[in-house]
Every structure is written in structure tokens, then in C-alpha cells.
């Protein structure tokens, strides 16, 4: 900013713009509140079906979110403009005061026309009127005035240019719509940008050769600003995708001689987590630079990078950085499609990921067991954290069938040779599959809420069910829990399919039988499945009013179906031993959350019934299974007695008036209802036996 611009500056128009933005903020706040508390609240409560249940509700939810982002962005713009206007007004006042001090010493400041200025005397002493003296000044006075003016102009320029810089950066965050980046003033936004540049410079220039003190500084910056949108975008684009991959390749090299790797080893896991959160947040930016970063990262991940002792793939590096953070859905699917295509070309990807004889580095520092050589583990973890991306990935069949590859065809390998236990990649894949079919990241989270299923989620469930059923006894043990939760999450449709006597339902009963059988090979997974299915059964009993007898029949049939799956899972052909040693262990109650949906009455009413029925189920099971399973159906099904009785009692309590009506014979409190549900359970057994041939 030059002298005349600031000296002649009239900030009235800027003040008017700030007032206008203030009105915009107020109006958007009103619209945000209306959209959230009125429009979206009504949409959430509406009992819609078909297209309205998905398209309309999704549109309203997205629109409400846009109003929230618009209000946030307008507030940030208002704050930055006001902050900048106040500073410029202050600098103009400081300039006027400095010029006045100069005049009192016979000094004036004049523009040179090229953006500069010069300090001269107002009146030369020799030209003063006769009898009139002029104020004295020293050469130092002129220098001080020059320095004061220059300092004021520098600060005004800084204020003006940095305001433009951060406003442009905020605007770039969203190519369409509005950014959710919130800043109270210009300085806080500018600080985020400058700290990002500082962190990126340190990583780029020093890399894995930085000192422990420099590493701790970098990690501290990432930790402090990991959720700041401007920091995330600026840091990622300044480092660049290739720079990031090369840095991690060097850092993870097993023969790294640098002091950093030795002294900071116990901090690398936290550093990896912070870095993942920053990069994930950066991919949420719609800036042109970040979009280019994402495209380049997908391309560069398919290349190899030399360490001191090996050659590793970019996929292996980037997937380890995906274990934490919220990555953009489109980026995840571009990356995932590319990863699967590369693995299918490899035929046996484990050979490549393990270096084909080379000494491969440990690329994952989160935990001490898993080496991080399998890129599918980190990628599946990222999908599990991003349900919408997971749904798209598991439904993608072009250019290849992603679900078929990761759920069944993909050869797995041991990436934690120092520790016995489940395969991490398969375990992560199960969690990603659950996110894809449910819209929920973690079914065991204490505050998890049921997400109404979209057509895409139901399609992902049907595809996953079919693929996993076709695996037969090759069903990965690591996926039993996740599939049990997935079946329970779609409990209303599963209940219909298991209990339907003739009519074909949305889910295939044969596939459900095979998957239920594979789940039931492990006691804990079987317990999760059974407890989860108690919820739609109880909900059905509490809501079926037109034909109450049908809910009792469906309850028995579904339990019989599940019982047959358990029987087949825990008995060999000769009925001599259990398929899984877990059946020797004590029973425990699993808390199954995020299952009950809008098809159910209030959760507390369902949960009371579920707790009762589950307690009775565990009572039945407590001493039923030991080291040897019985091949005798009669003895096996006899032990389900109290579970069926508790459901019949619940049904009778809910439908007492109907049951006691003389027109409805055969539903007396004890004998009639028990007989009905027992017969229905036997029918469920027979149905399950009839569809059990699927492999």
C-alpha cells in the first residue's frame, strides 16, 4: 500500500460492506435455525417411504448443512473484513499523526509516483519570510519520520494483502457451495496459513534428517492445527504428494542411521495419527491445488519408492496415513479403484507387498504388531471411517467388482508375524463392509444411532451377503462379528426373510442361512447375531396390531431358523466336535447398538423386551454347549425352551385382549401361546434345513 492510498483512504464504503455482511450473517443464522429445527427436524420425524424416504430426506439434510456452512463462512468473512477495516483505520490515524509530527518540525512527506515517498522540508530556512523563523529539525528527525512512515505503510500493506490471502484461501475451500472453515479474525486465519507453511518447509527441507527438536516442533504443529481447514490444505499442497510419499519412505527405512528414528521411535505413532488427520482434512478442500494433489496422489501411489534397503509402493505408504482422518469420499473411491485394479494385475499381491525377498520396512507405527505392508488394511480402515465412500466402493462393479475382490477373491497374508491373532486386513475389511451397509462407523459405540438405509446401502448388503454366502466354509473368521452386526442392522428385512413361509423376500433365505451358519461357528459372533435379531422380533411384536398372531408365528420361525444355523455350525458331519473352540468359553451379553430403526417403537420399550429375551437365551445356552456338541436335534432344540417362553409371554402381555377373545382360540396365556411359538420354531427349523444346501 503506497502513501497516497492510505493518506486519502476513505473506508466508509468498506464499513458499509461490513454492515451488509453483518445483515447477511443475521439472515443466514435465521435460515440455518429454520432449516435445522424446522425443515430437517420434520424430515427426520416424517414416516416417509420409497423415493421420499431417500432422495427428499437426503436433499433436505444436505440443504440444512449448506445453510450452516453458509452462515459459518459469512461470519468468517464479516470477522475478517471488520478486523482489517479496523486495522486500516488505525494505520491511517497513525499516518496522520506521524505527518503532523513532521510538520511541527518543518518536514513533509511526498509521493514519488512509483509507490515510494520522500521526506523534505516544508520551507527552507533561507526562504522563510523576513521576521519568521521555521522549526528546527535534525537529520535524525527526518530519518525517524521516514522510518515511521515506512513502518506504518508496511503494516497497512500486510493487513491488506493478508486479508486478501486468507479470504481467497477460504473461498477456495469449496468449489461449489460454502466452506465450513470458521475464524474469529484475520490473524487466526493467517496464523494457520503461516504455521502450515512453516511445517511444510521443515518437512520438505529436513525430511527424516531433522533433529529430535525439529521433529517435536513439527509434530506439535500438526497436533495443534490438525483440525484447521486452512492449515490442512496449505500444508498438504506445500509438501505435495510426491514429497509426502518420499518422506515416509525414508522415515520408515529399517536401516535409517539418523538420530530421529532412534530417539523418536515411540513418538512416530502419534505423529502418524496427526499426519493422517491433517491429510484427510485437506482432501475435504475443493481448492484447485488440492484437487490436483488428489489426482497426483492416486497416480503416484502406483509407483515404487526406494528406501535404503528396499523398494516400496506408494499404496503402502499412503494407506498407512489413511488409518486416521476423514478423507474425501471421491478421493477414497478413486484411490480404492486404482488399488484393487493394481492388485488384480499382481495376481498374488501379497508377494509384491512383502517385497519378493527384500527386507521390507515397517511403515505403520500405530501399535507395535502390524508392519503396515498390506495397503488394504489402512484403506479399509479409511472406508470404515467414511460410510458413504464405503457404500460406493462395495457397490462398484466397473472397472472391477471391488466387493468380490476384497470379500472373497483377494489372497491375504500375515502382516504381523510377531503376534498371533486375526488377520488385520480381513478384520478391517469386515468393518468397512459394515460401514457400507449400515451408514455407521462403529456398531459398538455408546452413542451410535441407527441410520435409515438408502437403496445403495441395501444393495451393498445384498451384494455382501451373496458374496460371503458363496464363500462357504472359506468364510473369513475375522468377518464373523462384522457380518453379525450387518445382519442385525438390517434386522427388519432379515426377520421377514427368515420367517416367511412361502413369499420370497428382499434378502435371500438361502444366503442368510449359509452366512448365519458361518457366523455361528464362533460363540461370540453367534451371540451378537442372536441378540441383534431379538430387536426386530420384539419390535415386530410391539407394532403388529392388524394380525397379532402373525408376529408370534414370525418370532418362532426366525428363532428356529437361527437355531438350525447354530446346530449346523457347531456339529461336524458325525456330530463329534465343535467347529470353533470359542464354544467352550462362558457366555456373555454383547451390547448391540445402532440396530433399532424407524420400523421400531421407542428404543426403551424394545430394549426392555430384548434384555428379557436375551437373558433367557443366555440361560438356555449356559450349560448347553461343552466340548462335544450333540447331533440330536431333539436335545438341541429342547434347550431353547425359556427363550421361546419369554417371547410368548411378551407377546401375550402385548396382545392380551386379542388372545382372550373367544374368536381367537389357541392363544391362551401359557399353553396356547407356547404351543404356537414352538410349532413356528419347528417350522423355522425345517425351512432352514430346506435352504441349507447353498455353498
At 254-263, the pLDDT tens digits run 666 666 767 7
Q: How confident is the model at residue 629 (pLDDT cuts 50, 70, 90)?
A: very low
H/E stretch holding 312 reads strand 311-313
> What mean pLDDT do residues 452-473 have?
95
Mean pLDDT computed over every residue of the chain: 83
Residue with the larger pLDDT of the pair 529 and 134 = 529
- 62-86 pLDDT, tens digit per residue, is 555 555 556 566 666 667 777 777 7
Residues 570/625, Cβ–Cβ less than 8 Å = yes
How far CA 302 is from CA of 106, 204, 319, in Å, comes to 71, 22, 12
Residue with the larger pLDDT of the pair 572 and 227 = 227
Quick check: 88 pLDDT over 80?
Answer: no
> What mean pLDDT do residues 141-155 have?
86
Grid cell in block for residue 405:
475382490
pLDDT for position 20? 73
pLDDT for position 84? 73
Report the greatest alpha carbon distance in the chain.
130
Residues 565/636, Cβ–Cβ less than 8 Å = no
Q: Please give the share of the chain, as a percent, with pLDDT higher than 90.
A: 47
Quick check: 576 pLDDT over 50?
Answer: no
Give me the phi and psi of 222, to 5 degrees please.
-65, -40
Give me the phi and psi of 108, to 5 degrees please.
-135, 160
pLDDT for position 502? 85
Q: What is the pTM of this model?
A: 0.79
Q: How far apart are CA 281 and CA 270, in angstroms?
A: 17
Residue with the larger pLDDT of the pair 102 and 82 = 102
Quick check: 130 pLDDT over 80?
Answer: no
> What mean pLDDT do residues 314-319 have?
98
Hey, CA dihedral for 55, 57, 59, 61, is it positive or negative? negative
Angle between helices 641-654 and 671-691 in degrees, nearest 10: 120
Residues 305/248, Cβ–Cβ less than 8 Å = no
- 221-243 pLDDT, tens digit per residue, is 999 999 998 899 999 999 999 99
Kindly provide the b/e burial profile for residues 547-566, where b requires at least 16 CB atoms within 10 angstroms of the residue's own CB: ebbebbbbbbbbbbbbbbbb
Give me the phi and psi of 127, to 5 degrees please.
-105, 5
Q: Which of 333, 240, 336, 316 is nearest to 279 (CA)?
A: 240
For cell 522510518, the residue is: 147
Give me the phi and psi of 117, to 5 degrees please.
-155, 165
> What mean pLDDT do residues 404-413 have?
96
Q: How far apart are CA 271 and CA 216, in angstroms?
A: 9
| Bridge partners (DSSP) listed for residue 306 | 311
pLDDT for position 239? 98
Q: How far apart are the first and last CA of the chain?
A: 76
Angle between helices 241-251 and 288-301 in degrees, nearest 10: 50
Quick check: 552 pLDDT over 90?
Answer: yes
> What mean pLDDT do residues 518-528 have?
91
pLDDT for position 578? 47
Q: Is 240 left (phi over 0), alpha (psi -120 to 50) or beta?
A: left
pLDDT for position 694? 47
Quick check: 508 pLDDT over 90?
Answer: yes
pLDDT for position 625? 52
pLDDT for position 626? 47
pLDDT for position 202? 96
How far CA 562 is from CA of 466, 467, 528, 580, 586, in Å, comes to 18, 20, 12, 17, 20
> What mean pLDDT do residues 21-39 have?
64
Grid cell in block for residue 631:
447331533
Quick check: 403 pLDDT over 90?
Answer: yes
Q: How far apart are CA 437 and CA 678, in angstroms?
A: 33
Q: How confident is the model at residue 277 (pLDDT cuts 50, 70, 90)?
A: very high
Q: How far apart are CA 233 and CA 56, in angstroms?
A: 32
358 CA to centre of own chain: 34
Quick check: 656 pLDDT over 70?
Answer: yes
For cell 455350525, the residue is: 569
pLDDT for position 509? 96
> What mean pLDDT do residues 375-402 have?
97
For cell 508375524, the residue is: 417
Amino acid at each position: 500500500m503506497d502513501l497516497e492510498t492510505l493518506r486519502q483512504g476513505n473506508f466508509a464504503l468498506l464499513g458499509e460492506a461490513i454492515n451488509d455482511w453483518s445483515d447477511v450473517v443475521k439472515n443466514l443464522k435465521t435460515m440455518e435455525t429454520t432449516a435445522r429445527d424446522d425443515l430437517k427436524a420434520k424430515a427426520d420425524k416424517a414416516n416417509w417411504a420409497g423415493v421420499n424416504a431417500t432422495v427428499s430426506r437426503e436433499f433436505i439434510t444436505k440443504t440444512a448443512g449448506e445453510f450452516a456452512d453458509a452462515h459459518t463462512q459469512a461470519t468468517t468473512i464479516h470477522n475478517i473484513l471488520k478486523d482489517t477495516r479496523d486495522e486500516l483505520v488505525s494505520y491511517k490515524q497513525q499516518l496522520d499523526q506521524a505527518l503532523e509530527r513532521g510538520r511541527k518540525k518543518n518536514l513533509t512527506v511526498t509521493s514519488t509516483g512509483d509507490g515510494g515517498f520522500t521526506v523534505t522540508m516544508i520551507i527552507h530556512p533561507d526562504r522563510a519570510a523576513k521576521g519568521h523563523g521555521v522549526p528546527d529539525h535534525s537529520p535524525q528527525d527526518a530519518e525517524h519520520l521516514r522510518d515511521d512512515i515506512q513502518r506504518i505503510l508496511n503494516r497497512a500493506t500486510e493487513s491488506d494483502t493478508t486479508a486478501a490471502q486468507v479470504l481467497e484461501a477460504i473461498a477456495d475451500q469449496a468449489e461449489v457451495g460454502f466452506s465450513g472453515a470458521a475464524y474469529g479474525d484475520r490473524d487466526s486465519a493467517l496464523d494457520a496459513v503461516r504455521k502450515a507453511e512453516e511445517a511444510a518447509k521443515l518437512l520438505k527441507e529436513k525430511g527424516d534428517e531433522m533433529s529430535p527438536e525439529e521433529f517435536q516442533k513439527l509434530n506439535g504443529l500438526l497436533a495443534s492445527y490438525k483440525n484447521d481447514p486452512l492449515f490442512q490444505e496449505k500444508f498438504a499442497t506445500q509438501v505435495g504428494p510426491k514429497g509426502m510419499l518420499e518422506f515416509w519412505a525414508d522415515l520408515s527405512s529399517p536401516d535409517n542411521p539418523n538420530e530421529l528414528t532412534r530417539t523418536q521411535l515411540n513418538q512416530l505413532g502419534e505423529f502418524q495419527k496427526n499426519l493422517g488427520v491433517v491429510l484427510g482434512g485437506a482432501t475435504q478442500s475443493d481448492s484447485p491445488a488440492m484437487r490436483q494433489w488428489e489426482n497426483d496422489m492416486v497416480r503416484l501411489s502406483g509407483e515404487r519408492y526406494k528406501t535404503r534397503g528396499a523398494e516400496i509402493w506408494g499404496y503402502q505408504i499412503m494407506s498407512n496415513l489413511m488409518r486416521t482422518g476423514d478423507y474425501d469420499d471421491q478421493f477414497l473411491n478413486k484411490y480404492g479403484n486404482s488399488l484393487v485394479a493394481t492388485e488384480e494385475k499382481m495376481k498374488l499381491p501379497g508377494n509384491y507387498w512383502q517385497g519378493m525377498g527384500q527386507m521390507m520396512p515397517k511403515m505403520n507405527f500405530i501399535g507395535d504388531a502390524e508392519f503396515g505392508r498390506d495397503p488394504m488394511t489402512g484403506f479399509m480402515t479409511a472406508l470404515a471411517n467414511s460410510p458413504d465412500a464405503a457404500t460406493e466402493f462395495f457397490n462398484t462393479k466397473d472397472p472391477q467388482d471391488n466387493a468380490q475382490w476384497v470379500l472373497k477373491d483377494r489372497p491375504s497374508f500375515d502382516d504381523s508375524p510377531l503376534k498371533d491373532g486375526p488377520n488385520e486386513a480381513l478384520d478391517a475389511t469386515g468393518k468397512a463392509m459394515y460401514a457400507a451397509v449400515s451408514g455407521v462407523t462403529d456398531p459398538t459405540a455408546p452413542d451410535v444411532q441407527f441410520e435409515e438405509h438408502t437403496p445403495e446401502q441395501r444393495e451393498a448388503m445384498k451384494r455382501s451377503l451373496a458374496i460371503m454366502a458363496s464363500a462357504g466354509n472359506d468364510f473369513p473368521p475375522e468377518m464373523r462379528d462384522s457380518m453379525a452386526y450387518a445382519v442385525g442392522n438390517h434386522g427388519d428385512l432379515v426377520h421377514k426373510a427368515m420367517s416367511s413361509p412361502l413369499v420370497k423376500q428382499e434378502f435371500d433365505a438361502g444366503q442368510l442361512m449359509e452366512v448365519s451358519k458361518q457366523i455361528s461357528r464362533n460363540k461370540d459372533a453367534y451371540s451378537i447375531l442372536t441378540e441383534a435379531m431379538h430387536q426386530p422380533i420384539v419390535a415386530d411384536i410391539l407394532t403388529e396390531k392388524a394380525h397379532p398372531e402373525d408376529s408370534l408365528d414370525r418370532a418362532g420361525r426366525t428363532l428356529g431358523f437361527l437355531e438350525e444355523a447354530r446346530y449346523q455350525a457347531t456339529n461336524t458331519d458325525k456330530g463329534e466336535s465343535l467347529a470353533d473352540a470359542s464354544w467352550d468359553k462362558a457366555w456373555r451379553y454383547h451390547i448391540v447398538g445402532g440396530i433399532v430403526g424407524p420400523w421400531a417403537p421407542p428404543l426403551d420399550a424394545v430394549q426392555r423386551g430384548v434384555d428379557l429375551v436375551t437373558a433367557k437365551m443366555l440361560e438356555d445356552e449356559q450349560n448347553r454347549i461343552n466340548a462335544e456338541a450333540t447331533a440330536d436335534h431333539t436335545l438341541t432344540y429342547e434347550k431353547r425352551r425359556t427363550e421361546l417362553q419369554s417371547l410368548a409371554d411378551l407377546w401375550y402381555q402385548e396382545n392380551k385382549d386379542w388372545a382372550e377373545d373367544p374368536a381367537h382360540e389357541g392363544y391362551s396365556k401359557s399353553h396356547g401361546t407356547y404351543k404356537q411359538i414352538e410349532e413356528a420354531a419347528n417350522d423355522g427349523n425345517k425351512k432352514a434345513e430346506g435352504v441349507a444346501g447353498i455353498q
